[in-house]
């Protein structure tokens, strides 16, 4: 079977969607399938691998920090689909690229599915109430519901990684929803004994409680709440906490201000190597996840696989993948509540919690299981 993935959520510094596509390619090739990937790039080029090809289509930058690009040359996408003639097309994009995938699939008689990776109405429209009021936000949300229902009902299937979000889409009128949770490569993300060696390597003090954040530095990730919470922790207990941040984005200046203010923040723009990323997870005492709009929370799952517990803000779609007690988690989306949650979590046996969560991840989450279910549906659609 030849599978083709299309997305604009792909850059040298992108996170969850890129990880999903990398793992999917690994599975597909190992299972004897072909994998085609069409994404935006700095220039138009083709990269050939065994049973896999990546097509970069020249596209303008929309973010100088995350390096995301807008794939506007839809004719080039259409030509590649005609050339490759895949058996199945999957779109991980809710914008113009999705409509092109649907139109090309109809013309070429190829089944097209969608993956709803990002709940973009909640992420981007919730903030409008601050500027335009609740009425404008309500109208925008209702318009978004109509758009989502129209777009995703054109797909043969709509994959979603969260049971809660799957229910939301069904209530909005999307009729083809399939729950397909994400997974972890537990051969890479697992417990280890390199905790303090990695801290020495990263020049992080070994006598502090190390907090970790991995992800985009963007408003929809709620990182300002994290930064304010850490500033509060630093004021209360100077020299007790250290924060390691891996990621880049529009809030980079806020992070730099925090570095200058506290002197207890380390920053790494990106980590492209999974083995190195696993070491970073293992070196931390506690992973702090401030997000309230996550559809899955892959970094939280990877952190737990490495034996590092997670603390965050209760009430998101990510709650169900937290494999430990959330009693100490923040009960509201505020820096004060998040700081209090970190303080409470720092007083419990983090190593024991992490060890238990790591074993559960290895048992319950597997990329093989994720893609086995997905490719079975692909085969069904081909028939």
Average pLDDT over residues 53-79: 93
Q: What is the pTM (predicted TM-score) of this model?
A: 0.87
The reply to whether 202 and 310 lie within a common domain is: yes
Please report whether residue 355 resides in a domain.
Answer: yes
Token pair listed for 147: 């758009």
The answer to whether residue 124 scores a pLDDT higher than 70 is no
Instruction: Answer whether residue 189 is part of any domain.
Output: no
Residues 119 and 261 in one domain: no
pLDDT of residue 337: 98
Residues 177 and 72 in one domain: yes
Same domain, 31 and 164: yes
C-alpha distances in angstroms, 280 versus 143, 194, 211? 41, 10, 11
Is residue 119 domain-shared with residue 154, that is, in the same domain? yes
Are 224 and 292 within one domain? Answer: yes
Q: Does residue 314 lie in a domain region?
A: yes
How many structural domains are present in the chain? 2
**Sheet strands (E) in 109-259:** 112-115, 158-160, 177-179, 209-214, 241-246
With a cut of 70, say whether residue 125 has pLDDT above it: no
Write the pLDDT tens digit of every residue in 148-205. 999 999 999 999 999 989 999 999 999 999 999 999 999 999 999 999 999 999 999 9
316 & 378 share domain: no
pLDDT > 90: what percent of the chain?
81
pLDDT at 112 over 90: yes
Q: What CATH number did the domain enclosing 304 receive?
A: 3.40.50.2000
Domain assignment of residue 98, yes or no: yes
Do 161 and 278 sit in the same domain of this protein?
Answer: no
Residue 72 Rama label (left phi>0; alpha psi -120 to 50; beta): alpha
Model pLDDT, residue 354: 97
Can you give the residue range of the structural domain that contains 244? Answer: 195-364
DSSP string for residues in 2-43: EEEEE-S---TT--HHHHHHHHHHHHHHHTT-EEEEEEEESS
Higher pLDDT, 123 or 362: 362
Position 188 in a domain: no
């Amino acid at each position: 079977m030849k599978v083709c993935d299309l997305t604009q959520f792909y850059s040298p510094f992108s996170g969850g969607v890129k990880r999903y596509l990398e793992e999917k390619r690994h599975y597909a090739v190992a299972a004897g399938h072909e994998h085609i990937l069409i994404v935006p790039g700095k220039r138009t080029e083709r990269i050939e691998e065994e049973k896999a090809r990546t097509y970069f289509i020249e596209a303008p930058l929309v973010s100088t920090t995350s390096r995301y690009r807008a794939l506007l040359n839809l004719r080039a996408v259409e030509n590649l689909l005609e050339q490759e003639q895949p058996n199945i097309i999957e779109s991980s994009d809710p914008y113009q690229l999705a409509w092109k995938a649907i139109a090309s699939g109809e013309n070429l008689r190829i089944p097209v599915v969608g993956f709803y990776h990002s709940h973009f109405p909640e992420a981007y429209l919730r903030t409008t109430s601050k500027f335009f009021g609740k009425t404008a936000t309500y109208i925008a949300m209702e318009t978004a519901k109509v758009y989502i229902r129209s777009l995703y009902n054109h797909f043969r299937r709509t994959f979603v990684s969260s049971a809660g979000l799957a229910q939301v889409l069904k209530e909005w009128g999307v009729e083809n929803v399939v729950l397909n949770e994400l997974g972890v490569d537990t051969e890479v993300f697992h417990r280890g004994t390199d905790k303090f060696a990695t801290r020495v390597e990263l020049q992080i003090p070994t006598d502090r409680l190390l907090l970790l954040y991995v992800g985009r530095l963007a408003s929809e990730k709620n990182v300002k709440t994290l930064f304010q919470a850490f500033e509060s922790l630093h004021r209360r207990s100077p020299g007790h906490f250290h924060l390691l941040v891996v990621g880049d984005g529009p809030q980079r200046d806020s992070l730099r201000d925090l570095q200058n203010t506290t002197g207890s923040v380390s920053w790494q723009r990106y980590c492209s190597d999974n083995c190195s990323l696993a070491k970073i997870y293992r070196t931390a005492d506690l992973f702090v996840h401030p997000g309230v709009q996550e559809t899955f929370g892959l970094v939280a799952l990877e952190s737990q696989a490495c034996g590092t517990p997670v603390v965050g803000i209760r009430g998101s779609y990510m709650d169900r993948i937290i494999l430990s007690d959330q009693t100490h988690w923040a009960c509201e989306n505020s820096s004060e509540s998040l700081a209090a949650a970190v303080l409470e979590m720092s007083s419990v046996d983090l190593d024991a919690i992490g060890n238990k969560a790591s074993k559960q991840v290895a048992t319950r989450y597997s990329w093989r299981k994720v893609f086995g279910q997905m490719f079975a549906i692909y085969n069904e659609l081909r028939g």
